[in-house]
Amino acid sequence: MTAAAIEPEPVPLTRDAAGRLIVIGTRVPLDTLVAALERGDSPEAIHESYPAVSLGDIYAVFTYCVRHRDDVNGYLAGRADERAAQRSAIETRFPPDGLRAKLLARPDA
């Protein structure tokens, strides 16, 4: 018996208009799936939370993350830097004083 060659399936990730990596056919970003996994959620629990992403695609994305750890970590670090810059720009434009500061200072916040 001869071994049959199995073609690998492409990683189900694409870039959206903003440059984020998202699961093809959804609006779920890679960042969200990785954060859920790092929180300790199982792929099945992640699928329940994000049913638009098939369980097979979740496993495929995580396989990609394991095999390309440095690239993924670099991408995620860049995204964190982008979010920090956006937050800083927003807080510069809309200083966190007044009502927002009062709400943040509340003991139940």
Average per-residue pLDDT for the chain: 92
**DSSP string computed for 58-92:** HHHHHHHHHHTHHHHHHHHHHHHHHHHHHHHHHHH
Query: Which distant-in-sequence residues (6+ apart) come within 8 Å of 50 by Cβ?
Result: 26, 28, 32, 33
Residue 22: CB atoms within 10 Å:
20
Structure tokens at 42: 């199982």
Q: Is the pTM of this model over 0.85?
A: no
Question: Between these two residues, 7 and 16, which has the higher pLDDT value?
Answer: 16
| Tens digits of residue pLDDT in 55-102 | 999 999 999 999 999 999 999 999 999 999 999 999 888 877 777 777
Q: At what angle do helices 55-67 and 69-93 cross, to 10 degrees?
A: 100
| Tens digits of residue pLDDT in 20-35 | 999 999 999 999 999 9
Q: What local confidence, expressed as pLDDT, does residue 10 receive?
A: 92
